[in-house]
Each structure stands twice: as structure tokens, then as C-alpha cells.
Amino acid sequence: MLNKYPMWKNIMVVLVIAIGGFYALPNLFGEDHAVQVVATRGADVTATTQSDVSAALTAKGIGIKRSELENGQLLVRVANAEDQLTAKETIAELLGDKYTVALNLAPATPEWLESVGGSPMKLGLDLRGGVHFLMEVDMSEAIRKMEEAKIADFRSQLREERIRYAGVHRTVRGIEIKFRDAETLSQAERFLKSRGNDMVFSDISSGDNVVLLAVMSEAYLKQIKEEALLQNITTIRNRVNELGVAEPVVQRQGAERIIVELPGVQDTARAKEILGATASIEFHMVDEKADVAAAANGRVPAGSELYQRREGGPVVLKKEVMLTGDHITGAQPSFDEYSRPQVAIQLDAKGGEIFSNVTKDNIGKPMATLFIEYKDSGERNPDGSVKMRKIEEVISVATIQARLGRNFVITGLTHSESQNLALLLRAGALIAPVSIVEERTIGPSLGAENIENGLQAMIWGMVVVLAFMLVYYRAFGVIANLALCANLIMVVGVMSMIPGAVLTLPGIAGMVLTVGMAVDGNVLIYERIREELRAGRSVQQAIHEGYGNALSTIADANITTFLTALILFAVGTGAVKGFAVTLMIGIATSMFTAIVGTRAIVNALWGGKRVKKLSI
């Protein structure tokens, strides 16, 4: 029978539109101002932490809309931005530096809707804003690392040249190289100067102290700072990619600062923790001959250093670094046979060779994994920069059972720490520590007035199109209008379901264009039906031929536009990519609603019936 859909097809149409509407529903509930708390450095967020935070906020007179403890993270929702800032300061003061406390905007989606995967679509910085971090690079640490590298170079170069020296040390003035006599100093100075012009050498001998001072040249200092900034920007970009943030902004500001903007980010605490983290690892042999009690009282053997274990208690390690994190090429969090967290490490060829040789010679001896990170001390250096505090902890001590190669595991971490460490090692280490000197959730960058104008343009455009279709096509116009509304709902629903989709202001333009293309499909169908009726076809034949003959034209126009949008998505960035995503989704949903959706309604109203006249 002409113009009759089977029951399964009608159910499919209703189901698809219902699913789109269901997943579009969370966008109606808005967002809450919130503060997020995540534990770091071995701490845990527990129900006790939750109750302590609630009590502290209540004492401050801050109303809590909802407090949620899930997956080791605490999210406290408050009424407004003012309460949010006060709550953050209160919680940070209460919990201390073992916790990351960050501002957040949390969806106000009901729990029953969240439980089935419902979440609002992510908006770009120009519509919803996001998280803004201003990060400062600790250039003094970058210079210190380079000076340490230079000290190692000087020692090896002088040994190779068989020039005897009494010691090489880093001081406030620079790198001091001590010799036994002036003649050896002159020989060393000539040799080191011939190796490059990065350092400026001067004889600062006095009396029996024969000392050659090496200071970095101004050009070399500038180069170190520039490379530190650029490498940190690259590393932070890698970390942002690991976080899966869509359309991020990572750019330099001045000589020592980096701006990071993350649109639509929900887990701001994790973003802050990962972006600002400077975690690295080193492997040292345990000094078994050292007296730990004596070392704890200040009598540390030469060539060794005292550290603290994470689980408590001192341990003496040899200063010589067996291996650093620079040779790590891969890191994945996993669990051992007892379900304890661990990180599986893969080394490059050079690192594997070094590690193999070292472990071969130390089978049966204990080896320690030293975890190093830098934290903001809350103080400032004389030049106004943030003063960083270096934290070193031994996270594991294990006996070397056999010769190790390019693959091994690190234990002694919590589950969250193993995930974070693996992420940091994969993304690369920061060449110098960074501190977050400014953090805020930012509002629409194009201004509320521009956003309002864009939304008004879309609304009035819709009104005009709906009115035209209603007047010009009468009953069929009503069907087309229902399809248009369903199309917009489905676009919003699909955008909400896709994790990486972000709606920007150009994306709204893509939605407006989608409305136009959806109307175009209905116009082609309806005009074809009119032509068939004028040619003397029956109502049922006219509907059947109208939909059938218009299909190829609609498909051609939409497929070519879809391919164009796909190219824009592949080569474009930022706003262009946001426009392309919305347009591709809109084309797919408009074809469904204009061809399948309207046909289902037309078939239900007129299909298989004796109809002499259509309202079209």
C-alpha cells in the first residue's frame, strides 16, 4: 500500500527523536558554582574530609547546595560566585597543601539524569567561558639545572684532557673550579674557552686559593630562558591533549609566563593538578653501609644523602643518579597480581642500556625510586617571582632480583598517583617548575551582548521560517515546522552526547544554516508533490513520487555540503572547527527529520486513505 510505513519504522522515528530530546534535556538545568577537592601526595578524600569541609563552610555562613564525594573527589556546590571564592579560600586553609582545591562550574543536571549518561553540551570560551590559568616558569631553577649540567661537563672534559682539579662547585657567584697551582688553572682556562663561548671565565684566585670562575654569558642566559619557556609550552600542550580538552588555548605571555585556557572543562581540579605538576623520578642505590640513625642526626656519609620514605622513616641513598625520567618513552598505570597500583615504564634504547648495565652489577641490592616535585611555597623571590619549594620523597625501595631492561614497573603509589605519574611521564617533564599565579573561571570572551545578539538572530530567523512555512504550505507547513523543531533538539542532543563536541558562537551560525538546509529539503519535497498534483496524479501517487524524486536532489546537496564541512574540520582550528562540527551534525539530523520524520507524519495522516485534496 502506498505511503504506509511499517510499525518498526514508525517506532524507530519516534525512538530516535525521543533519544535526541532526552539527551538535550540536561541543557535546561544550567550550572552550579562549585569547589572541587582532589587529594595529592598520598592523602585521601574521605567522608571525614567531607564532613570537616561542610562544618567549616557552615561556620563561615556559606550555604551548601550539595556536597558530593565520588571517585576520591569532593565537589561542593554553592549558591553564587562570591560564596564560591570564599569557600575555596576556606577549604584550602583547612586542608593544606596535600590537597588540590580548584574552582569549578558543575552541571546542575538531576542525579537520575546523570545516572543514564545525560550531560549538557560543552560550550566554548566565547559562550560559556572555561578555566583560565596564568602560569609562571621558575627560570632560576632552569638556570640551576643548566649549571648542574655544566658542572658535570667540566668534570668529564677536564678528566678527558687529564687536567687535574681540586673540585668543581656551584656558588652564588657561578661555577667555581679549584686547582692546585696557577699554571694548571691557565691550562684549564684555555682548554675550556676553546670548547665554546657559552661561559665567561675569570681568575678569582686569592692567596693559596687558585679558583677559576665560570659564569654564563648574557646571550646564553637568554637562550636558556627562551628554551625553558618554549619547552614548557610544548609539554603543557601535551598534557592538555592527555586531558582530552577540546579547543584549548596555550600561549606565552611575556618572557616567563604561559596562559592556558580550557573551555568547558568540568574537572578543573585535575586540570590544575596535571598542568602545574612538575613530578619527575630518579633511581638511586640505597647506601646499605650508612648508619641511618647517625645520618638522621646530621652525620651523612660523603657521596650519600638522607631522604624520607613516603610511608614514614628515613633512608640514606647514594647521590649518584642511576637513571632519570628523561629516558622514559612510555608509561601506563596498571595493577599487580595483588591489585596494587603500579606504573609500567618503557625506556628508550639508551636508557634501557644504562639501566641494564647498572642493575646487572647490583643484583641483590636495594634500589630506591625518588619522587621529586615542586610546590608553590606562598613566598616571593626578591624579583617578585614565585618561590618554589622542592619536595623529595622515596616512594619505593625494592631489591634488584635480576637484570632489568627497557621495561619495568614502579610501585608504592596510590591509584590516582599512578595515573597522574603515568600521564606526566608520557607528556614529558617540565624543564623548569611552573606555578599557577592566577586562576579563574572566565566568562564569555565575546561579551554577553554579542551572545544575546547571536541567539536573538537564531530565534528570529526560526520564527520567520516557521511563519513562512505555515502560511505557504498550510498543513504540510505545520509538519515541516515540527520537523525543524525536532531537528534543533536532535542537534543539541547529539552535541551533548559527543564528548569532544564544543559549541561556539560560529557553531550557532552553523545551527542557523542547518535550519535553512532542513527547510530547503522540505521545500523541494513539497514543490515536487505540487507538480505531481498539477500533472493529474492522485494524492497518494503525488506524495509517493514527491518524496521519491526529491530524495536524490536533497542527498546530493547535503552530501556535498557535508564533505565541505568535513574538510573544514580536518584543516581548520578554533572557531572554524566548531562551525564544521555543528554543521555536520546538523546536516545528518536535518536529512533524517526532513525525509524520514516528515514522511512518517504524512503517512500517518494521509497514507492509505482516500484523500481528494491536500492542504499544501
Write the CA distances from 201 to 165, 174, 221, 222, integer angstroms.
16, 10, 15, 18
Number of helices followed by number of strands (H, E) in the chain: 16, 23
SS3 of 608, please?
A: coil
Q: Same topology for domains 30-108 and 279-414+425-429, yes or no?
A: no
DSSP states of 115-138:
TTT--PPEE-TTTT-EEEEEEEE-
136-150, 174-188, 401-415, 495-509 — most confident range: 174-188
Hey, what amino acid is at 561? T
> How many CB atoms within 10 Å of residue 40?
19
Q: Which of 357, 346, 375, 526 is nearest to 436 (CA)?
A: 375
pLDDT at 12 (0 to 100): 93
Euclidean distance between CA atoms 456 and 452, whole angstroms: 6
Instruction: Using DSSP bridges, classify how beta strands 167-170 and 280-285 pair: parallel, antiparallel or unpaired.
Output: unpaired
How would residue 270 be classed by pLDDT, with cut points 50, 70 and 90? low
How would residue 37 be classed by pLDDT, with cut points 50, 70 and 90? confident
How would residue 425 be classed by pLDDT, with cut points 50, 70 and 90? low
Q: Which CATH superfamily is domain 30-108 in?
A: ACT domain (3.30.70.260)
Euclidean distance between CA atoms 413 and 421, whole angstroms: 9
pLDDT at 571 (0 to 100): 82
Which residues neighbour 82 within 8 Å (Cβ) at sequence distance 6 or greater?
A: none
Euclidean distance between CA atoms 56 and 36, whole angstroms: 15
Euclidean distance between CA atoms 79 and 81, whole angstroms: 7
pLDDT at 267 (0 to 100): 59
The percent of residues above 70 in pLDDT, for the chain, comes to 89
Q: DSSP class of residue 165?
A: -
Euclidean distance between CA atoms 386 and 25, whole angstroms: 45
Comparison of pLDDT for 403 and 325, the residue scoring more:
403
Is the pLDDT assigned to residue 42 strictly greater than 60?
Answer: no
pLDDT at 90 (0 to 100): 92
* % helix, strand, coil for the chain, step of 5: 50, 25, 25
Output 53-59 pairs: Cβ under 8 A, ≥24 positions apart. Answer: 53/91, 53/94, 53/95, 56/90, 56/91, 56/94, 57/87, 57/90, 57/91
Contact (Cβ atoms closer than 8 angstroms) between residue 409 and residue 332:
no
Please state the domain extents for the chain.
7-24+447-606, 30-108, 140-221, 279-414+425-429
Q: What angle separates helix 182-194 from helix 139-160, to the nearest 10 degrees?
A: 110
Is the pLDDT assigned to residue 268 strictly greater than 70?
Answer: no
Hey, what amino acid is at 224? I
Determine which of 10-19, 150-159, 555-564 has the lowest per-residue pLDDT on average: 150-159
Determine which of 20-34, 302-316, 498-512, 594-608 has the lowest per-residue pLDDT on average: 498-512
Over the chain, what is the mean pLDDT? 83
Contact (Cβ atoms closer than 8 angstroms) between residue 45 and residue 39:
yes
How would residue 58 be classed by pLDDT, with cut points 50, 70 and 90? very high
Assigned CATH topology for domain 7-24+447-606: Multidrug efflux transporter AcrB transmembrane fold (1.20.1640)
How would residue 376 be classed by pLDDT, with cut points 50, 70 and 90? low
Q: 279-414+425-429 is classed in which CATH architecture?
A: 2-Layer Sandwich (3.30)
Hey, what amino acid is at 593? T
Is the pLDDT assigned to residue 97 strictly greater than 80?
Answer: no
How would residue 444 be classed by pLDDT, with cut points 50, 70 and 90? low
DSSP states of 228-280:
HHHHHHHHHHHHHHHHT-SS-EEEEETTTEEEEEEET-S-HHHHHHHHH---E
Comparison of pLDDT for 84 and 325, the residue scoring more:
84
Is the pLDDT assigned to residue 596 strictly greater than 70?
Answer: yes
Contact (Cβ atoms closer than 8 angstroms) between residue 417 and residue 341:
yes
Is the pLDDT assigned to residue 579 strictly greater than 80?
Answer: yes
Instruction: Record the cell numbers describing residue 354, joined without a space.
Output: 644504562
For cell 640551576, the residue is 144
pLDDT at 482 (0 to 100): 92
Rg for the chain (alpha carbons), in Å? 33
Is the pLDDT assigned to residue 193 strictly greater than 80?
Answer: yes
Euclidean distance between CA atoms 591 and 525, whole angstroms: 12
Tell me the pTM: 0.59
Output 558-566 pairs: Cβ under 8 A, ≥24 positions apart. Answer: 558/517, 558/521, 558/587, 558/590, 558/591, 561/517, 561/587, 562/587, 562/588
How would residue 51 be classed by pLDDT, with cut points 50, 70 and 90? very high
How would residue 101 be classed by pLDDT, with cut points 50, 70 and 90? confident
Torsions phi, psi of 196, nearest 5? 160, 170
How would residue 23 be classed by pLDDT, with cut points 50, 70 and 90? very high
